[in-house]
Structure 1
Amino acid sequence: MKIALIAHDKKKTDLVQFVLAYKPIFEDHELFATGTTGLRVQEASGLNVHRFQSGPLGGDQEIGALIAKNDMDLVIFFRDPLTAQPHEPDITALIRLCDVYSIPLATNMGTAEILVRGLERGDLHWREVIENEE
């Protein structure tokens, strides 16, 4: 499965810790991330992460383009709801695309844990069926 990892500045450490906690699960999947988040995950975990631009420079939009092509299976986006983001329209568009294309999306650690445990159990294999039909 293709998994996008995104985190706002105040949530990057949380996302790195999350990936480390579930590293055995993430090892079996293709990881994509926005710039600094991807670098931090890669350095801390040793996992291979395809890195896009940082979010404000278009990384959210690059991931959104993959979603629109049905070429992303899961998005984990640790958002900081208490800090204004200069690229808020891009964030809203990314979340909307996940809804439009039925891409599972976690915006906090609780939901991310449920999705990753589901990934581990095979609950997201329906994504492979959809990809093979295209």
Structure 2
Amino acid sequence: MNLPARRLRIGLIANRSHQDAANSALVQLFRGAKNALQALQPELIVVGRTLDALASHDLINGFPAMQRFPYGREGGLMKLVSRVVDSDPERTVDAVIYLIDPVDPSSIFPEALALKRQCVIHNKPFLSTLASAREWLELEAMAAGATPDAALDASFSFAGEGIALIAHDAMKERMLALAEQHFELLDGYAMRYATGTTGGLLNKLAQKIKGEEAGRNWVRPFLSGPLGGDAQIAELVLERQIRRILFLEDPHVARQHEADIQLLERAARTVSDFSTVISDAQGADRWLSLLTRRCATC
């Protein structure tokens, strides 16, 4: 996404298990990303109980603009979906941080699923893990001129890590264009993983760039998504072999294997402090560009 010249406006919600404890994901986010938040000074639109939790941990001081939405049961999440799609620059949100507990049933309520889907449709980051929220804030703060947080340097060292590259049929050309544009960055990973056809296409691209032999196994292809490839990648996420997942979704096509897609997302949320999922196709170029810049500072 192309970020606005005005102050960023971020929607914020956390499931209950990520709110109350002194080491909850919400607390870790605000304390761990303190420098980035101070640099960005975002306007926060916070759903009900999440704002109560911030107040209880004394984490709301220092924010120049914070708006309270109702509790989720009173429509707060539904209102947040409306702000995602709103074209009025004085009302719309630029990104959503929704710290999801994978075993909380509210995360599969219609409004929760609609929130993610509309973020994908409207090309806005949907950040559902602690790691993805911290990384996004760090990268955007760096883009705004802030000094990178040295405490996060280890998470930007790619040589020992894997990245998953997944694209639905309508997004495969976009994935190939991104991979070609950011080939040097992706080549710096220990391994790249993909489902089915996407993996084959990416290996052909690598052969064009690196040579037929050197690029032959650039990506390790798993089964196609409908045949279980998402589950195979999910296992590596749970084993912390894959930190980042670039999943270019086509939200306009009915998918019979929706459960497999949700399984992969749930795996990432199970290791919330480690794994990042990016589904914003338009913003993926910015994300990869900023990753390259951030990696160079390590």
TM-score by length of 1: 0.84
Structure 1 moving runs of 4+ over 3 Å? none
1:14 match = 174
Residues 1:122 and 2:283 aligned together = no
Measure, in 1, the Cα distance between the counterparts of 2:219 and 2:203: 6
Q: How does 1:25-36 map to 2 (within 5 A)?
A: 25-29=185-189, 30-36=191-197
Q: 1:13 Cα shift?
A: 0.9
Which SS does the other structure have where 1:4 is aligned? strand
Which SS does the other structure have where 1:73 is aligned? strand
Measure, in 2, the Cα distance between the counterparts of 1:122 and 1:59: 29
1:110 match = 282
Change (3 A) 1:115 1:99: farther
Change (3 A) 1:111 1:100: farther
Q: How does 1:47-86 map to 2 (within 5 A)?
A: 47=215, 48-86=218-256
Q: 1:116 Cα shift?
A: 2.1
**For the Cα contact (< 8 Å) 1:19–1:45, is it kept in 2?**
no
**For the Cα contact (< 8 Å) 2:193–2:221, is it kept in 1?**
yes
- Note the residue ranges of structure 2 that are not aligned, 5 or more in a row: 1-160, 208-214
TM-score by length of 2: 0.39
The residue type equivalent to 2:269 in the other structure is: D
**For the Cα contact (< 8 Å) 2:182–2:289, is it kept in 1?**
no
Q: 1:5 Cα shift?
A: 0.5
Report % sequence identity.
31
Q: Which is richer in helix?
A: 1
Which SS does the other structure have where 2:282 is aligned? helix
Q: Tell me which of the two structures has the higher relative contact order, counting C-alpha pairs closer than 8 angstroms and 6 or more residues apart.
A: 1
Q: 1:44 Cα shift?
A: 1.9
Measure, in 2, the Cα distance between the counterparts of 1:111 and 1:58: 27
**For the Cα contact (< 8 Å) 1:60–1:90, is it kept in 2?**
yes
